[in-house]
Chains A and B, each alone.
Chain A
């Protein structure tokens, strides 16, 4: 296919817009290209201008946008504020589709603030990646224990050098932020360092310099939030916890969410004394109830002390420098560090949102429609700043969808059904689809298959490690609605099953699949008898009971 190329220099803007709109209606399958006049004074923009001549470039606007907006020229087709997972994905893809794109990001720092960030965003610099590296590091102590059962011995007690880990981790982060910059550069995206602020629906101010854009994307992410209590200034958040200069000897973690559990595992594995304070009776609110119980038990067995139904009230620093945490139930003393993993908040302050009329909810999250558009038609938002499902791959999906919507004439809604996720606690959790409670609510009658077993490795290591697996199946349709696992390799195991669940496969399909022996994962395709059947309507019970017996096969 030979792209038709219109260049802005040859056509006046009104003609161009009309032409494009008409063409997009009549010739939906043709790839066109047009270029918008860019600021000739800036050399890095000129670079794009040249590229555009030979690359397909296509920008569509929705009808309302076209009608409402005065015809004008912009520096960019897309200006992205925030170069994290969602922002980089949207920018790159938009550029690949031919748009002229700029992205601004705060200067690099391992600790985020109003003035620091870094290309790569939370995932790469203060989230998924460093967290997983720390998990790898901390898991070794468990592996050393396991290996004893397999005949390995160590002359002296294994020691961990915190400095080596942090130095190697930071070197890796520097490498990754460099890679992300290269990715943007190779895609032809202009990277501007500084704090972006929206001035009007088509203008962004970056540290005093103004840039105009047809579309603005807000992808500024979120930051840890520490509630104000007396002494909360002594607490650290996850940013700081990933970059401590020395090993914490005794650490309190406040919170029962996935971040709290992941750090509890990390510090415990690296030989700190770990106390976790949670408000609820159980960890991981919102997760499958059985998984919540199971992971709490397994983590306790590895030496983590859980303080349930305790809310923090005050932190006091003693003369010796150690910290004490007072809760509604009492005071625990002697902490070297107190970490709060009490949620994250969208970074929507001082973005100029109020002045242009971008609506946020009470948590400060930007409200978007199903195409990721804010209340201002030219302004869009993806990722944690919208506070929906705050996961890197979801931000990537949103970024990819937005680029398609804006620059490939293919309006695309992100699909939030059956998004799998993992908690890198030790042992880890993987899950996709619905919990029991959600499944009952949405589908009524369900069959639940569970398996709780001691994996082969644990029989040799002698450690009390177990694996828990669960399938939730719709009694009417036989579809697998939910799949949950806690145990070694959960995150890796669940990915493939997520493809199956997303594709709407049934329990019969699972059963038809032959196992890979000997693995843990094969348990998911060899669950023959339901652990329990949950029935809403008494009249359906008898009938379905027979069907279930027939499929169970034993």
Chain B
């Protein structure tokens, strides 16, 4: 198959231009999006170079590592700790199933940390091999853009190398952001939280997003006292309100102290720990204070001003629907563009970029019906619209189907925790607009549901699917009666309910 340089138009120019540049593509940042774009571009026949900062679990301006946030400081280590923490509840549940487990359990944080680090080192190696197997040239150092077609890579020892490239892809991701309050330097971010030397006995988490909720669950599951502070009434702003309430209730029932509508105003170091002061005037002492107060794009040290790449006010690189910046030869994917900050979305963007630029097929990433998961304990997973979004967007009535049930496992374990599932359906077209679930295995269950939603499946198609018995997931295909009907355009306050 002939390679077509679609973005640059004429095929005949390609061979002449190739010699002008060191690379067809130079990628800055070897995280999920960058590695995917680099590999796929190379597979299409492009000559690709990629640079990444030296490896370290804690990121900074000058430290990163092949694999990026997902592998080193995000999804993977987080999920490992969630697995570790989930055992805490599992072991409690085992007792009523006849298992005689000691009252006092021994959990070795250092062992878990060591094994987590080993796994991340292994994955870091795998990612490096993936790149080299695809024929991508990897460089260690900090990448800067010095012209529309040239980059400069500064190695750890200060040596600088310049490369020219027909296309430059910015895939530098993002980093955790600290709230500027007095004593903020005493707090940690999620980077450090994934690599603490000791398990905190008393942990304070600030933030209501998924990262805050996940760390609260991790530490609680491993036996710490956890206080979670957030500004809103409920955590997880942007998710379905009903599900947010369920998550809050589950966190509370698992023993996390929730402090809604509360901010932290000051941190001070004391002999007994970090003194935390809230805007309600309350004080408490903690071993660890985690700021999970958002992340900011890594766009500062890329020298973007020099070439005129536009940023939005949060510092995110502005791109069009093909991930191209305002400079035609410079593109950006992943968290640095602050669109939908999820690994699989960065992968999709990277894939579409490679297809568009080197695959002869212009491809826009499709942001509809992207499923996602919050690995709280128990987890939440959603795809499509929340009830509120559906009411906002639907032309006609919206039907809400919910199911709240005690999972079978709890009937013997005695755990008091309901699983909740929800389908949001367009009354007129019967199309399922949104699905959500909070309960064990929710993220695994939701993936298949996401395929159905992505393709516009109707409630009738859900109903015609036979259940897998006994599973939790079968509830999604056996929701027979509508829980409520919301009238077209009905804002919650005008809704008769």
Q: Name A499's contact: one of B104, B408, B477 (CB within 8 Å).
A: B477
Q: Can you list the 3 inter-chain pairs with the closest CB atoms, starting with the nearest?
A: A496-B448, A495-B473, A521-B447
Query: Which residues of A lie under 8 Å from residue B381 when comparing CB positions?
Result: 516
A128–B470 contact, CB under 8 A? Answer: yes
B408–A133 contact, CB under 8 A? Answer: yes
Query: Which residues of B lie under 8 Å from residue A129 when comparing CB positions?
Result: 408, 470
Closest to A522 in B: B447
Closest to B114 in A: A151
B348–A514 contact, CB under 8 A? Answer: yes
B366–A519 contact, CB under 8 A? Answer: no
**Interface assignment of B343: CB less than 8 Å from any CB of chain A:** yes
**Interface assignment of A13: CB less than 8 Å from any CB of chain B:** no
Q: Name A517's contact: one of B43, B75, B467, B469 (CB within 8 Å).
A: B75
**Interface assignment of A159: CB less than 8 Å from any CB of chain B:** yes
Query: Which residues of B lie under 8 Å from residue A415 when comparing CB positions?
Result: 464
Question: Shortest CB–CB separation between residue B51 and chain A, in angstroms?
Answer: 24
Whole-angstrom CA separation of A163 from B100 in the bound complex: 12
Query: Which residues of A lie under 8 Å from residue B348 when comparing CB positions?
Result: 514
Whole-angstrom CA separation of A459 from B122 in the bound complex: 10
B98–A497 contact, CB under 8 A? Answer: no
A140-B471 contact, Cβ under 8 Å, with A153-B107, A161-B100, A494-B448? no
B451–A510 contact, CB under 8 A? Answer: yes
Q: Name A156's contact: one of B102, B345, B462, B468 (CB within 8 Å).
A: B102
Whole-angstrom CA separation of A151 from B109 in the bound complex: 6
Query: Which residues of B lie under 8 Å from residue A499 when comparing CB positions?
Result: 448-449, 451-452, 457, 461-462, 465, 476-477
The interface bits of chain B over 77-91 (1 if a CB of A lies within 8 angstroms of the residue's CB, else 0) are: 001100110010011
**Interface assignment of B454: CB less than 8 Å from any CB of chain A:** yes
A492–B471 contact, CB under 8 A? Answer: yes
**Interface assignment of A500: CB less than 8 Å from any CB of chain B:** yes
Closest to B454 in A: A513
Q: Name B345's contact: one of A500, A514, A553, A554 (CB within 8 Å).
A: A514
A143–B90 contact, CB under 8 A? Answer: yes
**Interface assignment of A164: CB less than 8 Å from any CB of chain B:** yes
The contact sample of 8 A-B pairs, CB cut-off 8 A, is A140-B94, A161-B98, A492-B471, A492-B472, A493-B448, A495-B467, A497-B448, A518-B75
The interface bits of chain A over 500-543 (1 if a CB of B lies within 8 angstroms of the residue's CB, else 0) are: 10110100011011111111111011000000000000000000
Q: Which of B126-174 contact A (CB under 8 A)?
A: none
Q: What 17 new A-B contacts, CB under 8 Å, besides A143-B94, A496-B450?
A: A129-B408, A140-B94, A144-B91, A147-B84, A151-B108, A164-B97, A460-B116, A460-B119, A492-B473, A494-B473, A495-B473, A495-B476, A496-B451, A510-B451, A513-B454, A517-B373, A553-B351
Whole-angstrom CA separation of A159 from B96 in the bound complex: 13
**Interface assignment of B12: CB less than 8 Å from any CB of chain A:** no
B87–A160 contact, CB under 8 A? Answer: no
Q: At the interface with chain B, which of A50-58, A238-246, A362-370, A388-396?
A: A388-396
Show the binding face of A for B, using Cβ within 8 Å.
Answer: 123, 128-129, 132-133, 136-137, 140, 143-144, 146-147, 149-156, 158-165, 168-169, 172, 175, 391-394, 396-397, 415, 418-422, 430, 456-457, 459-460, 489, 491-500, 502-503, 505, 509-510, 512-522, 524-525, 553-554
Whole-angstrom CA separation of A419 from B477 in the bound complex: 12
Query: Which residues of A lie under 8 Å from residue B471 when comparing CB positions?
Result: 422, 491-492, 495
A140–B444 contact, CB under 8 A? Answer: no
Query: Which residues of A lie under 8 Å from residue B411 when comparing CB positions?
Result: 133, 172, 175
Query: Which residues of B lie under 8 Å from residue A522 when comparing CB positions?
Result: 344, 447
A518-B79 contact, Cβ under 8 Å, with A495-B474, A499-B449? yes
Whole-angstrom CA separation of A420 from B462 in the bound complex: 13
Question: Shortest CB–CB separation between residue B452 and chain A, in angstroms?
Answer: 4
B106–A456 contact, CB under 8 A? Answer: no
A136-B96 contact, Cβ under 8 Å, with A393-B468, A497-B448? no
Whole-angstrom CA separation of A158 from B408 in the bound complex: 23
B444–A492 contact, CB under 8 A? Answer: yes
B106–A154 contact, CB under 8 A? Answer: yes
A521–B443 contact, CB under 8 A? Answer: yes
Query: Which residues of B lie under 8 Å from residue A419 when comparing CB positions?
Result: 466
A128-B444 contact, Cβ under 8 Å, with A150-B87, A159-B99, A500-B455? no
Question: Shortest CB–CB separation between residue B98 and chain A, in angstroms?
Answer: 4
B97–A140 contact, CB under 8 A? Answer: yes
A152-B371 contact, Cβ under 8 Å, with A393-B469, A495-B448, A500-B451? no
B448–A500 contact, CB under 8 A? Answer: yes
Query: Which residues of A lie under 8 Å from residue B451 when comparing CB positions?
Result: 496-497, 499-500, 505, 509-510, 513, 524-525
Question: Shortest CB–CB separation between residue B306 and chain A, in angstroms?
Answer: 34
Query: Which residues of B lie under 8 Å from residue A132 when comparing CB positions?
Result: 408, 470
Query: Which residues of A lie under 8 Å from residue B193 when comparing CB positions?
Result: none
A133–B412 contact, CB under 8 A? Answer: yes
A495–B477 contact, CB under 8 A? Answer: yes
Query: Which residues of A lie under 8 Å from residue B448 when comparing CB positions?
Result: 493-500, 521, 524
Query: Which residues of B lie under 8 Å from residue A144 when comparing CB positions?
Result: 91, 94, 99
B454–A509 contact, CB under 8 A? Answer: yes
Query: Which residues of B lie under 8 Å from residue A396 when comparing CB positions?
Result: 467
Closest to A124 in B: B470
Whole-angstrom CA separation of A430 from B452 in the bound complex: 18
A492-B445 contact, Cβ under 8 Å, with A143-B87, A393-B469? yes
Question: Shortest CB–CB separation between residue A163 and chain B, in angstroms?
Answer: 7
Closest to B447 in A: A521
B444–A152 contact, CB under 8 A? Answer: no
Question: Shortest CB–CB separation between residue B373 and chain A, in angstroms?
Answer: 5
A421–B98 contact, CB under 8 A? Answer: no
Whole-angstrom CA separation of A517 from B465 in the bound complex: 26
A505–B452 contact, CB under 8 A? Answer: yes
Whole-angstrom CA separation of A525 from B446 in the bound complex: 12
B97–A155 contact, CB under 8 A? Answer: no
Q: Which of B347-366 contact A (CB under 8 A)?
A: 347-348, 351, 355, 359, 366
Query: Which residues of A lie under 8 Å from residue B470 when comparing CB positions?
Result: 128-129, 132, 392
B474–A393 contact, CB under 8 A? Answer: yes
Question: Shortest CB–CB separation between residue B318 and chain A, in angstroms?
Answer: 22
**Interface assignment of B313: CB less than 8 Å from any CB of chain A:** no
**Interface assignment of B394: CB less than 8 Å from any CB of chain A:** no
Whole-angstrom CA separation of A97 from B98 in the bound complex: 44
B106–A152 contact, CB under 8 A? Answer: yes
B80–A460 contact, CB under 8 A? Answer: yes
Query: Which residues of A lie under 8 Å from residue B445 when comparing CB positions?
Result: 492-493, 495-496, 521
Query: Which residues of B lie under 8 Å from residue A554 when comparing CB positions?
Result: 40, 43
Question: Shortest CB–CB separation between residue A135 and chain B, in angstroms?
Answer: 10
Q: Name A158's contact: one of B75, B99, B449 (CB within 8 Å).
A: B99
**Interface assignment of B284: CB less than 8 Å from any CB of chain A:** no
Whole-angstrom CA separation of A493 from B231 in the bound complex: 35
A152-B449 contact, Cβ under 8 Å, with A513-B454, A517-B70? no
Whole-angstrom CA separation of A459 from B409 in the bound complex: 26
Q: Name A154's contact: one of B75, B80, B101, B112 (CB within 8 Å).
A: B101
Query: Which residues of B lie under 8 Å from residue A172 when comparing CB positions?
Result: 411-412
Query: Which residues of A lie under 8 Å from residue B109 when comparing CB positions?
Result: 151
Query: Which residues of A lie under 8 Å from residue B477 when comparing CB positions?
Result: 495, 498-499
Whole-angstrom CA separation of A144 from B351 in the bound complex: 40
B98–A524 contact, CB under 8 A? Answer: no
Question: Shortest CB–CB separation between residue A53 and chain B, in angstroms?
Answer: 24
A420–B465 contact, CB under 8 A? Answer: yes
Query: Which residues of A lie under 8 Å from residue B441 when comparing CB positions?
Result: 489, 492
Query: Which residues of A lie under 8 Å from residue B179 when comparing CB positions?
Result: none
Question: Shortest CB–CB separation between residue B405 and chain A, in angstroms?
Answer: 12
Question: Shortest CB–CB separation between residue B39 and chain A, in angstroms?
Answer: 9
**Interface assignment of B76: CB less than 8 Å from any CB of chain A:** yes
Question: Shortest CB–CB separation between residue B71 and chain A, in angstroms?
Answer: 10
Query: Which residues of B lie under 8 Å from residue A155 when comparing CB positions?
Result: 102, 104, 106
Query: Which residues of A lie under 8 Å from residue B359 when comparing CB positions?
Result: 553
Query: Which residues of B lie under 8 Å from residue A489 when comparing CB positions?
Result: 441, 444
B84–A158 contact, CB under 8 A? Answer: no
The interface bits of chain B over 46-82 (1 if a CB of A lies within 8 angstroms of the residue's CB, else 0) are: 0000000000000000000000001000011001100
Whole-angstrom CA separation of A101 from B83 in the bound complex: 50
